[in-house]
Amino acid sequence: MSGAFAVEHDDGVVIVTFDLPGEPVNKLSQAIIAEFDAVFSAIERDITLDKTGAVVIISGKPDSFIVGADIDEFLSYKTAAQAQEASAQGKSRLDVLEKSHVHVVAAIHGACMGGGLELALACQYRIVTDHPKTVLALPETQLGLIPGLGGTQRLPRFVGLPNALDMILSAKHIRARKAVQMGLAEEVVHPSILKAVAIRRARELAMGSMNRRAPRLGIGARLLGNNPLGRTIVLSRARATIAQKGRGNYPALPAAIEAVVAGYAPRGQGFATESRLFGEMAMTRVSRQLIDVFFATNALKKDTGVEGGGPAPMAIPRMAVLGAGFMGAGIAAVSAQSGIAVRLKDVSREQVGHGLAAARDALRERFTKRHVTRQQYEDQLSLVAGTTSYEGFHGVPLVIEAVFEDLEVKQKVLREVEPLLRENAIYATNTSTIPIAEIARAAARPERVIGMHFFSPAHRMPLLEIVVTPQTAPWVITTAVAFGRSIGKTPVVVHDNPGFFVNRILAPYLNEAGRLFDEGVAIEDIDGAMLDWGFPVGPITLLDEVGLDIAAKSGAIFLKAFGARLEPSSVMERVLGSGRLGRKNRHGFYAYDSKGKRQGVDPSVYDLRERRGGAANVSKGEIQERLALAMVNEAMRVLDEGVVRQPRDGDVAAIFGIGFPPFRGGPYRFVDATGAESLVRRLEAIGRTHAGRFEPAGGLVRLAGSGGKVYT
Ligand code: NAI
């Protein structure tokens, strides 16, 4: 027995159980890899003596194998050379495993990620369990790194070049059955027999009654990976994909390709190249930012939403959703997915029918993708019951209202429902712009009213803004946060104000995009500039997606609340007036075909601009600056006003809610990376030509004066 590894024997097979003390999951650090090396070397020595030649590696954690490297350790590297050395050392230890005369079987149940998968690939046989928690991935590029323990070299041998590149560049999760199909694992079994089967296979390998299997690549993978011409095709496709998706902002993507390519060069070079590039990537600012985002997200997972922890949350085994429209149906689906029974209410049977169908489609998605079994899907579906009455509402501890975005309607519904609820029931509203306190004015128990702002589509988008008023009770907040987390969302607590956090910082950004359009800038140039800056979709595309009617409604609210600074561009009114609602009526800034698939820009929309004629001469840099700084400056105001509890929350919300470029770390990390003083100067310069909208936020000016940072 050693610290993290327990060793036991089963009739000639040595079982090594990895169970990192004091941690919920197994992670690989240099120390742990060295410890494993020592344990394994001792086994190898013994085995030469008594001739047993079989080892099983298994995890002692309930639902994970090895989740990857210890990320804290990445941050401890001070130079690229240090990181390179760590990678090379770890790799030489896995080499020992791979080349050993002892036959090693990896028994994989739960997450097998990054270094964990690299270790498994160095074993001689891999068994995975048929369980939703069992996923295999090399997610390093998501942290701005590349696999550093031989992953870029070994993976292509198992799954072929196209699949390997796909896994490394997209960080995608591979489930058990797919892993076997691809050649990533040899066998899939039920979790209850994993250990027994692994022991049997190890013994068979050692006795020679089963051969170490050479990876079985499909003919396509062989053709494409094993000859230079095929490789050229695959590589140029991969390069085109990363150019389009990463837009040059993620250096780890081309580095990963380079490392994979080096694996096809004479022996030895690939592993060395991988270590060198791993070292270089570990020092990039992009990687530091992405790791910070990772830590911020993890820290948020432990946050109750209330300073000091607050009261224990109430259990939510069942709930009601008011309004079976687009959002209501999605909220019902995502809740049922987590085993919560939902009553979905609307005004007519027809509306309820639409809502149930939409909820079914959302739930079906995970079944179609094989994330759940048919039985699980049907069980989830049976949890959603449609209704046009308030029958049974007395029994629910949580109601989420998702009716029309209209204060009067929302207040009327609240007045109607509240008296029917039990006294400690929570009433949440999914409004996207109306201040929660205004809705709560209609409540007899306003301390139980809270905002739960889901993003669309609700069953896919990870962020949930929990909006609290000064009256909201702490136990209501902790319950809302715990509920959000239980349905798989990342809840961020924000204080009540028009637009909350995400829509508030989005407003000046979208307004500015409208102005650029009005000034004569081509739509492709506006969207393209922001894609290059790192957003997943351009602002004009986003307007079409959100719906121009919704954008106009919130625009009016922002204008009323904040005046000229957040005044929508006048073109929005003209575009909306021409009958364009965006994607929903297949008529927006872009054209759509009859199936709703987006075509190019609709040229007739240019007739609605104020400025007719030739294109405006606005550079890409200027477009990016006006849009991004409008958003970042507003984020600084919001921080000053205490809308977010801390910068971390705002950064995560901006990344998860709007797709703020993760490699920039979120708006507040962006301020720190760029420097407040330089931002103030830029804002002042832009403000000279665009008066009234770019006055630097007070917090930014203060930081510029003191030379301080948002994150202290
Ligand atoms: P929707 O128009 O698709 O659905 C609203 C539903 O509420 C309709 O089915 C309607 O029949 C029903 N309804 C109206 N009065 C009702 C009542 N008294 N009782 C029960 N049901 C009633 O609208 P959508 O898009 O689902 O929006 C709902 C809410 O979610 C709005 O407050 C909106 O601002 C918010 N929201 C919308 C997002 C979006 O992207 N669509 C994103 C985030 C929030």
| Three-state secondary structure call for residue 189 | strand
Q: Are residues 468 and 518 in the same domain?
A: no
Question: CA–CA separation, 429 vs 96, rounded Å?
Answer: 58
Q: Are both 266 and 331 inside the same structural domain?
A: no
Q: How far is the CA of 328 from the centre of ligand 1 (A)?
A: 7
Residues 253 and 383 in one domain: no
What is the structure's pLDDT at 213?
A: 57
pLDDT, residue 215, reads: 57
Contact 16, 56 (CB under 8 A): yes
Report the residue among 334, 343, 346 best suited for mutation to probe ligand 1: largest number of ligand atoms under 8 A from its CB.
346
Q: Is residue 436 assigned to a domain? A: yes
Alpha-carbon Rg for the chain, nearest whole angstrom, is 28
- Quick one: 588 and 679 in the same domain? yes
Residue 659 lies in a domain: yes
Same domain for 664 and 691?
yes
Question: How many domains does one find in the chain?
Answer: 3
Domain annotation covers residue 360? yes
pLDDT in tens, 174-204: 999 999 999 999 999 999 999 999 999 999 9
Asked if 524 and 671 sit in the same domain, the reply is yes
| Strand ranges inside 258-413, DSSP E | 318-322, 341-345, 384-387, 398-401
Domain's final residue, options 479, 495, 511:
495
Q: What is the 3-state secondary structure (H, E, C) of 91-122?
A: HHHHHHHHHCCCEEEEEECCEEECHHHHHHHH
Q: Are residues 556 and 459 in the same domain?
A: no
CATH number at residue 696: 1.10.1040.50
CATH number at residue 49: 3.90.226.10
Q: How far is the CA of 329 from the centre of ligand 1 (A)?
A: 9
Predicted local confidence at residue 229, as pLDDT: 86
The H or E element spanning position 621 is: helix 620-640
The answer to the question of residue 305 being in a domain is no
Protein residue closest via CA to atom 40 of ligand 1: 456
Asked if residue 304 is part of any domain, the answer here is no
pTM of the model: 0.92
Query: What CATH number does residue 399 fall under?
Result: 3.40.50.720
Domain shared by 675 and 536, yes or no = yes
- Residue 181 in any domain: the answer is yes
CA of 323 to the centre of ligand 1 (A): 6
Residues 338 and 399 in one domain: yes
Q: Which residues of the chain have pLDDT under 50?
A: 1
Structural contact between residues 319 and 399, judged by C-beta atoms closer than 8 angstroms? yes
The reported pLDDT for the residue numbered 12 is: 86
Of 495, 521, 540, the residue that ends a domain is: 495
The pair phi, psi for residue 573, each rounded to 5°, is -60, -45
Q: What is the pLDDT of residues 481-498, one digit of tens each?
A: 999 999 999 999 999 999
**Backbone angles phi and psi of 121, in degrees to 5:** -70, -20
Last residue of a domain, one of 495, 522, 549: 495
Whether 633 is in a domain gets the answer yes
Whether residue 130 is found in the same domain as residue 159: yes
pLDDT of amino acid 298? 92
pLDDT of residue 287: 97
CA trace torsion 584, 587, 592, 597 (10° rounding): -10
Which among 465, 567, 625, 634 is annotated as catalytic?
Answer: 465
Report which ligand 1 atom has the smallest distance to the Cα of 322: 20
Nearest CA owner, ligand 1 atom 30: 402
pLDDT digits (tens, 9 = 90+) for 345-387: 999 999 999 999 999 999 999 899 888 889 999 999 999 999 9
Is residue 145 within 8 Å of residue 119, measured between CB atoms? no
Report how far ligand 1's centroid is from the alpha carbon of 508 (Å): 25
Q: Is 12 left (phi over 0), alpha (psi -120 to 50) or beta?
A: left
Q: Which runs of E-coded beta strand occur in 578-673?
A: 590-592, 598-601
Q: How far apart are CA 531 and CA 9, in angstroms?
A: 56
Residue nearest to atom 35 of ligand 1 (CA): 431
| Binding-site residues, ligand 1, Cβ < 6 A | 322-328, 345-347, 351, 402-405, 409, 413, 430-432, 454, 456
Residue 1 pLDDT = 43
Q: Which domain holds residue 328?
A: 318-495
Substitution site in 334, 351, 403, 427 for ligand 1 pocket (most atoms within 8 Å of beta carbon)? 403
Distance CA 156, CA 170 (A): 15
> Does 278 share its domain with 409?
no
Residue 306 lies in a domain: no
465 as an active site residue: the answer is yes
Is 324 in the same domain as 218? no
